[in-house]
């Protein structure tokens, strides 16, 4: 699992670096503001991908004394790092766009933008195989594809019609980058806010009720997408011996663990004492 995730992100990062290099070469050789903005976000994607790779590697470390529940949430350091890098890229892009003074655009800039974008498409398909780091990287890599298509069209139109179109393409790429940053901030905050997948709590409650337990309290939170921690207090029926209740609870927690739900369950012993103190008919 560890090696697979690192291989996935490493491959995606390599594809991003190749695509970014092609676009940077396109700007340096053929002069296009749209390709310039696209190239800046390419560099940001490469740096963000490297941060995601480091964070994912750290998140795969086994539990220790300081992290008894594991290191999975360190993967969100990758999401935060990507946000920082793209915010810096957005800040750098604004002065580099400058005023829309006349400049020449070579139509071949659109060819380099197209080839660079093709590598980003492959990077998306690979990055999405990782649920945490890949999701953060994937959001901005999708943006790179859309920005790449914009730079292809804008640079070609800028060369054949007017540089204004190319410049406007750069503005559109910058605006889309800002929108992507806001969207990713909202996603990261939501996932770090102990949210739970819709219907999961009801499914866990149903598992206990099928074994005749009454659920008195149940809390579940997401650690990372696809993995959950929680606790529950359940009440066994009066005709169920404590030894049997313990066995059934162990079976339930083992079954939930296989579904990546790590649940700590307490049997309400007070209710058991009340059962034994009731007069028998």
pLDDT in tens, 132-179: 555 555 555 666 778 888 999 999 999 999 999 999 999 998 998 888
146 and 228 belong to one structural domain: no
Mean pLDDT of 9-36: 84
Residues 6+ apart with CB under 8 A from 270: none
CATH number of the domain that residue 219 is part of:
3.30.70.1350
pLDDT value, residue 274: 62
- pLDDT band for position 79 (cuts 50, 70, 90): confident
- pLDDT band for position 217 (cuts 50, 70, 90): very high
> Which residues on neighbouring strands pair with residue 267, listed in sequence order?
234
39 and 134 belong to one structural domain: yes
Tell me the residue range of the domain where 137 lies.
2-192
72 and 109 belong to one structural domain: yes
19 and 60 belong to one structural domain: yes
Ramachandran bin of 226, using left for φ above 0, alpha for ψ from -120 to 50, beta for the remaining angles: left
Winning range, highest mean pLDDT, from 2-6, 99-103, 206-210: 206-210
pLDDT value, residue 275: 65
223 and 150 belong to one structural domain: no
Last residue of a domain, one of 192, 212, 238: 192
Domain count, the chain: 2
Annotate the chain with three-state secondary structure. CHHHHHHHHHHHHHHHHHHHHHHHHHHHHHCCHHHHHHHHHHHHHHHHHHHHHHHHHHHCCCCCCCCCCCCHHHHHHHHHHHHHHHHHHHHHHHHHHCCCCCCCCCCHHHHHHHHHHHHHHHHHHHHCCCCCHHHHHHHHHHHHHHHHHHHHHHHHHHHHCCHHHHHHHHHHHHHHHHHHHHHHHHHHHHHHCCCCCCCHHHHHHHHHHHCCCEEEEEEEEEEECCEEEEEEEEECCCCCCHHHHHHHHHHHHHHHHHCCEEEEEEECHHHHHHHHHCCCC
247 vs 11, more confident: 247
Provide the percentage of residues in the chain whose pLDDT is more than 70.
Answer: 89
- In this predicted structure, which of 78-87, 105-114, 130-139 has the lowest mean pLDDT? 130-139
93 and 223 belong to one structural domain: no
Positive or negative, the CA dihedral 201, 202, 204, 209 is positive
Mean pLDDT of 86-94: 90
Supply the pTM of this predicted model: 0.72
pLDDT value, residue 138: 59
pLDDT value, residue 276: 59
What average pLDDT is seen over the chain? 84
138 and 212 belong to one structural domain: no
Residue 265's φ and ψ, nearest 5 degrees, are -120, 135
11 and 149 belong to one structural domain: yes
* Residue among 61, 72, 45 at smallest CA distance from 138: 45
pLDDT digits (tens, 9 = 90+) for 221-276: 988 888 899 999 999 888 888 889 999 999 999 999 998 899 999 988 666 556 65
Last residue of a domain, one of 166, 192, 218: 192
CA-based end-to-end distance of the chain: 57
160 and 228 belong to one structural domain: no
pLDDT value, residue 67: 86
- pLDDT band for position 12 (cuts 50, 70, 90): confident
The strand order across the sheet containing 261-267 reads 214-224, 227-235, 261-267
72 and 143 belong to one structural domain: yes
137 and 85 belong to one structural domain: yes
Mean pLDDT of 66-82: 86
Last residue of a domain, one of 192, 222, 247: 192
Residue 119, pLDDT above cutoff 80: yes
CATH number of the domain that residue 31 is part of:
1.20.1510
184 and 219 belong to one structural domain: no
């Amino acid at each position: 699992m560890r090696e697979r995730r690192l291989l996935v992100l490493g491959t995606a990062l390599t594809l991003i670096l190749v695509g970014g290099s092609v676009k940077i070469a396109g700007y340096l050789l053929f002069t296009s503001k749209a390709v310039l903005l696209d190239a800046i976000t390419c560099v940001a994607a490469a740096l963000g991908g490297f941060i995601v790779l480091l964070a994912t590697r750290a998140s795969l470390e086994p539990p220790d004394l300081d992290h008894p529940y594991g290191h999975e949430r360190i993967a969100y350091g990758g999401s935060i790092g990507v946000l920082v890098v793209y915010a810096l890229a957005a800040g750098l892009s604004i002065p580099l766009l400058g005023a829309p003074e006349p400049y020449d655009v070579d139509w071949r800039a659109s060819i380099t933008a197209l080839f660079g974008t093709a590598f980003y498409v492959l990077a998306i398909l690979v990055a999405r195989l990782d649920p945490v780091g890949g999701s953060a990287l994937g959001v901005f890599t999708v943006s790179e594809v859309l920005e790449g298509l914009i730079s292809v069209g804008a640079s070609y139109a800028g060369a054949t019609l007017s540089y204004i179109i190319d410049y406007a393409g750069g503005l559109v790429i910058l605006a889309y980058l800002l929108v992507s940053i806001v969207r990713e901030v909202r996603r990261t905050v939501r996932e770090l806010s102990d949210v739970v997948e819709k219907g999961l709590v009801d499914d866990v409650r149903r598992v206990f009720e099928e074994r005749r337990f009454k659920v008195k309290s149940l809390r579940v939170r997401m650690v990372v997408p696809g993995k959950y921690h929680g606790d529950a207090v359940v009440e066994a029926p009066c005709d169920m011996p404590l030894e049997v209740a313990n066995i059934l609870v162990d079976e339930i927690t083992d079954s939930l663990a296989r579904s990546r739900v790590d649940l700590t369950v307490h049997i309400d012993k007070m209710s058991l004492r009340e059962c034994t103190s009731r007069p028998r008919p």
